[in-house]
Structure 1
């Protein structure tokens, strides 16, 4: 008999640690579910999420795309605008993300990875995050955005605070909001610096970029730079950490990519499907929607549970199996529709590049802790610490 008392609470530590059993219950029994704790509907099946992503006229991003949005961000970033403004913003911002610019990041990133590995040295145990993933992603970001390296520790501290939500108050607390405000002010200072002394970095290109005479507004550039810093420091670092966790938990897959690094891109795609950091994003309904016997009302918020859609057996056979030969089509690791992640090519390149270097130095590893400490976030999922041991 179906448990009518089923709850889906994205603020709970249990969901942080392992959302997948709850996702399966949602998909099988409650594919359109009202979460009283989140005060929004939850869509968990792959087909429903894809339909929502493709129907921006109904499932709008203009009220924010994070499960718990920060003040003054909605309407000023790619992820929080809809066409036609979204398309103009994307064209302007994308002009700074050329293939040549992405390719130019690979060698500096490789050097940053080698430097981080030198810091790890021959340690028998180390924290993958503080010792490696945080260092290489901050190095990539600082190179890409032209940020002063001496700001590294303060940047990291504030980004981690930005993406968290207080599980008790179920909202962004004063500390989280202060971190976002600090980051916004930092972005404004960086913009002014690059206006006075432009370089080949992304911020310099953003403050100068225009299409048909149109430029981004000051607020749009500021929020875009703030979001890029958040994505670069936390989202990419978290994905690198989740990728290491997946390989540590699946030694046969790890052995395959160590023996043949050309298989790394396939492993990356499977990790984006199987267990990625981008778990849940939200939309707001612009009209009533009748779905799976439920009526979602105009103005209601909707959670698109990417992590659940990526484990939907209706789309991916044996979805709980980590198989680097799968080559999953239409996974949701980078979202989809008009809001598909703009930095996906950088994330893919960065993951392959740094793991080529990591596996040269640490070809055999396992995780030390059976129970991991998880980030308290309703949108992202990542360990706060990942201790690895060489074998």
Structure 2
């Protein structure tokens, strides 16, 4: 497969680690890599042993976000924003998502018979949707994308720089909403109370950053990976073109096969044993969802892209209490974007003069660009 070349998806390495060292000590790190499905899921779901808790003394807003909280605080924070992601509210966004998608494709078409799926569709669509939900200006869309990429990338300096910039940005907006409430998610966060106390500025900023990034990166990578898969596998494209009801199953297989989020981490809360290895309190555990989603003990012919896979219990959206809150939104955005693209340009083809390349991110599977010719 094209996407297996040059280590784009290191499936052979994952297979080797699952077989030879499923729970691997990281040399000089004091941490562990976990590769098997059953173990990855166990670490995800057992928050009493494997903690998400961030540092309470840190001024990093991500450390104060729902992503880095255990119960009961996690449950309280999740409840605050869950009302914004109910099935009814997400379904009501469908016309707006369709409008944005159509507009993006119209703009791309004006430039000629070629477009970059990442820059022209997969990236701006989810950023636009989540920015409107938060209530922030779309004039800053390019900044949002740059911040999102820096937060999931491997450049530490860029990570901390964008943290500072985003903290200043969202702090100013939160202060404005206190004085001038609006019908948006940031106003709801500013006005929210837990145990009769308002969220701290750091918690509000952490929420905004997480929603912006989570509402962007996963969906962007899901859409671009699906476009790549359909181009690389003509028989799959033909099936989906012939029967649009197959598209949801195809999206689930993209979640599994490409794993937009490749890994997450937890810290060991108490000494434990995993597959015969002694994990000590305070050590970090890196859980490779990308490997788990190709585990031959769970998935028949895991390295085959199969849109008819049923059941498909992939871990592409996490598991347990931290299962992705925006999963329905990501699925809907991807379904509308892909269906619209296929309806308008059923014979699009990738520009193979441009080599496939991943962004410099261990955490995400993200293509740098995906230029296609429109037909």
**TM-score using structure 2 length:** 0.91
Of 136, 150, 158 in structure 1, the residue corresponding to residue 139 of structure 2 is 150
* Displacement after TM superposition at 1:225 (Å): 0.5
Of 130, 134, 137 in structure 1, the residue corresponding to residue 126 of structure 2 is 137
Matched residues in 2 for 1:227 and 1:255: separation?
37
Of 52, 56, 69 in structure 2, the residue corresponding to residue 61 of structure 1 is 52
Q: Is the 8 A contact 2:61 2:206 kept in 1?
A: yes
Residues 217, 22 of structure 1: CA spacing in aligned structure 2 closer, same or farther, 3 A cutoff? same
Matched residues in 1 for 2:142 and 2:128: separation?
12
Q: Is the 8 A contact 1:95 1:209 kept in 2?
A: no
Q: Is the 8 A contact 2:62 2:206 kept in 1?
A: no
Matched residues in 1 for 2:74 and 2:6: separation?
36
Cα-to-partner distance string for 1:94-147 (whole Å, 9 max, x where unaligned): 123222321222111111100111112173332111111122122212222111
Matched, 1:389 2:368: no
* Displacement after TM superposition at 1:309 (Å): 0.4
Q: Is the 8 A contact 2:37 2:291 kept in 1?
A: yes
Matched residues in 1 for 2:70 and 2:249: separation?
32
SS across alignment from 1:82: coil
Of 326, 344, 348 in structure 1, the residue corresponding to residue 309 of structure 2 is 326
* Displacement after TM superposition at 1:31 (Å): 0.6
Q: Is the 8 A contact 1:133 1:240 kept in 2?
A: yes
Cα-to-partner distance string for 1:320-342 (whole Å, 9 max, x where unaligned): 11111113432101000111111
Q: Which residue of 2 aligns with 1:49?
A: 40
Matched residues in 2 for 1:74 and 1:183: separation?
11
Q: Is the 8 A contact 1:366 1:389 kept in 2?
A: yes
* Displacement after TM superposition at 1:38 (Å): 6.1
SS across alignment from 1:264: helix
Matched residues in 1 for 2:243 and 2:114: separation?
25
Q: Is the 8 A contact 2:218 2:330 kept in 1?
A: no
Cα-to-partner distance string for 1:145-190 (whole Å, 9 max, x where unaligned): 1111211122222222222113xxxxx12x3311121112212222
Matched residues in 1 for 2:83 and 2:71: separation?
18
SS across alignment from 1:284: strand
SS across alignment from 1:377: coil
Matched residues in 1 for 2:170 and 2:180: separation?
15
SS across alignment from 1:180: helix
Of 346, 363, 370 in structure 2, the residue corresponding to residue 379 of structure 1 is 363
Matched, 1:116 2:104: yes
Q: Is the 8 A contact 1:273 1:328 kept in 2?
A: no
Matched residues in 2 for 1:71 and 1:219: separation?
7
Q: Is the 8 A contact 1:274 1:310 kept in 2?
A: yes
How many residues are paired up? 367
Q: Which residue of 2 aligns with 1:235?
A: 218
Matched residues in 1 for 2:14 and 2:347: separation?
32
**TM-score using structure 1 length:** 0.88
Matched, 1:335 2:326: no
Matched residues in 2 for 1:205 and 1:261: separation?
37
